[in-house]
Amino acid sequence: SKAKLFDQNTEVKTTFKDVAGLEGAKEEVQEIVDFLRYPEKYTTLGGKIPKGALLVGPPGTGKTLLARAVAGEAKVPFFSLSGSDFVEMFVGVGASRVRDLFKQAKEKSPSIIFIDEIDAIGRARGKNAMSGSNDERENTLNQLLTEMDGFGTNTNVIVMAATNRADILDKALMRAGRFDRQIFVDLPDIRERKEIFEVHLRPLKKTKDLDLDFLSRQTPGFSGADIANVCNEAALIAARNGKKAVDKQDFLDAVDRIIGGLEKKNKIIT
Ligand code: ATP
């Protein structure tokens, strides 16, 4: 069978309720939801609806989640692919995949295109020009720029992209009419960690003595993804020990485990 070119989700269930914290970012993307739902409100006044927004922040902070929630709130289809899928791709495949993606999104408009890890294709051009795969990356990037420039003002497709390396992106991507909006998605502070715990504790059967303030204090530096992992790991630990509900000790053990994993990861990087 033909390999899947990109993910397409026409009925996104994720909403802002699933995204804890990130108040500032949510406020900024609320406007995108508005553009998608009521484009006339903006175009009748002669305004140009923005085409692209770049979500910038560390791994696991909810960038993908937030983009998906925009689609869910606006009730529009969500098309997504990851920049890392383009690495090691045969000549011409990357560009044609991008072309296809935009074609489909336009057919289903209003819609959202989401490109995760855009730095994998959007790194500044002209560096390491010797390697062949790099040429292909440039072709893909050029196609992306061409597609965004080709959008009419009433195309009603908004392109969201995510990166944790905005500093290495080709400046051409940030030009007016492309990803001219940057939205910062940071690691959660203690209050936000508590909110993220609330979201991920919802589906768990847990004991009454669980103290969310305590858990939030125990997890400085954790991302939303780390906290989601803690909650899942705690449930697995409780199940392994034959418990009827997840308790405080299970969470402490899970936090230890995740910290162990983070330390290992950092050791490999540095
Ligand atoms: P990456 O840069 O690694 O792709 P990301 O910023 O796109 O990461 P997501 O993939 O959105 O992060 O987050 C992974 C998972 O972590 C989410 O599916 C969700 O379960 C949880 N999560 C992250 N941030 C939040 C948040 N703010 N609220 C609730 N859950 C969160």
Averaged over 14-40, what is the pLDDT?
Answer: 94
- For ligand 1, atom 10: residue with the closest CA: 64
Rounded Cα gap, residues 171 and 269, in angstroms: 27
Which stretches within the chain are classed as H helix?
23-37, 39-43, 63-74, 93-107, 119-122, 132-150, 190-201, 212-217, 224-240, 248-269
Percent of the chain whose predicted confidence (pLDDT) is above 90: 63
By C-alpha distance, which of 166, 9, 3, 142 is closest to 75?
Answer: 9
Highest mean pLDDT (candidates 37-41, 97-101, 237-241): 237-241
Paired strand residues for 54: 161, 182
- For ligand 1, atom 18: residue with the closest CA: 65
Q: b or e along 212-247 (b: 16 or more beta carbons within 10 Å of the residue's beta carbon)?
A: eeebbebbeebbbbbbbbbbebbbebbeeeeeeebb
Averaged over 62-76, what is the pLDDT?
Answer: 97
By C-alpha distance, which of 119, 113, 160 is closest to 137?
Answer: 119
pLDDT (0 to 100) of residue 227: 97
Q: Which range is least confidently modeled, 35-44, 164-173, 251-260?
A: 35-44
pLDDT (0 to 100) of residue 270: 47
List pocket residues of ligand 1, CB cut-off 6 Å. 19-22, 59-65, 116, 162, 164, 196, 199, 224-225, 228
Cα 217 to Cα 2, 102, 117, 256, distances in angstroms? 48, 44, 30, 13
Q: Report CA(221)–ligand 1 centroid distance (Å).
A: 14
Task: Identify whether the C-beta of residue 18 lies closer than 8 Å to the C-beta of residue 65.
Answer: yes
Task: Identify whether the C-beta of residue 157 lies closer than 8 Å to the C-beta of residue 105.
Answer: yes
Cα 118 to Cα 20, 53, 83, 237, distances in angstroms? 24, 12, 5, 36
Inform me whether the pLDDT recorded for 89 exceeds 70: no
Residue-wise pLDDT for 197-231, tens only, equals 999 999 999 998 889 999 999 999 999 999 999 99
Q: What confidence tier does 248 reach under pLDDT thresholds 50, 70, 90?
A: very high
Q: Report CA(116)–ligand 1 centroid distance (Å).
A: 12
pLDDT (0 to 100) of residue 145: 92
Rounded Cα gap, residues 171 and 86, in angstroms: 20
Paired strand residues for 115: 81, 161
Averaged over 79-91, what is the pLDDT?
Answer: 79
pLDDT (0 to 100) of residue 226: 96
For residue 188, give the ligand 1 atom closest to its CA: 27
Binding-site sequence positions for ATP: 57-64
Q: Report CA(20)–ligand 1 centroid distance (Å).
A: 10
Averaged over 114-129, what is the pLDDT?
Answer: 80
pLDDT (0 to 100) of residue 134: 64
Q: Report CA(61)–ligand 1 centroid distance (Å).
A: 5
Q: Report CA(90)–ligand 1 centroid distance (Å).
A: 31
Averaged over 49-73, what is the pLDDT?
Answer: 95
Q: Which range is least confidently modeled, 58-62, 111-115, 213-217, 262-266?
A: 262-266
Q: Report CA(43)–ligand 1 centroid distance (Å).
A: 33
Cα 156 to Cα 20, 49, 85, 111, 191, distances in angstroms? 27, 8, 26, 7, 36
Task: Identify whether the C-beta of residue 102 lies closer than 8 Å to the C-beta of residue 42.
Answer: no
Mutate to test the pocket of ligand 1, among 18, 23, 65, 81 (most ligand atoms within 8 A of CB): 65
Paired strand residues for 123: 169
- For ligand 1, atom 21: residue with the closest CA: 225
Residue-wise pLDDT for 37-53, tens only, equals 998 888 788 777 889 99
- For ligand 1, atom 19: residue with the closest CA: 225
Strands laid side by side in the 111-116 sheet? 7-9, 78-82, 111-116, 157-163, 52-56, 181-184
Tokens standing for residue 252: 């402490």
Percent of the chain whose predicted confidence (pLDDT) is above 70: 90
Q: What confidence tier does 4 reach under pLDDT thresholds 50, 70, 90?
A: low
Q: What confidence tier does 2 reach under pLDDT thresholds 50, 70, 90?
A: very low
